[in-house]
Amino acid sequence: MCRYGRVNYVLAQRLELLQEVSRLQESFGVAGDMSYTCETAGYFYIYQVWHGCVFNLCIKIFIY
């Protein structure tokens, strides 16, 4: 019985986090369905969020 509750909790957390990825994707204007699986959400983070932040930081450092 306890296992059932833990599994449901993890699945609910997964859905909430994938909804957050969907919101970020819309705000960044990225095409595709990045919030379909945790794997695609991970790629979205690496290639859109992380690389975008590092790129913007490098631009600020070299311009200023």
> Which of 36, 38, 35 shows the shortest CA–CA distance to 24?
35
* Residue 5 tokens, joined: 């509750």
pLDDT in tens, 32-52: 888 889 889 988 888 888 887
DSSP result, 3-51: HHHHHHHHHHHHHHHHHHHHHHHHHHT--S-TTSSHHHHHHHIIIIIIH
Q: Looking at this protein, which amino acid is placed at residue 50? A: W
- Of the chain, the end-to-end C-alpha distance in Å amounts to 59
Say what the pTM is: 0.68
pLDDT in tens, 5-21: 888 999 999 999 999 99
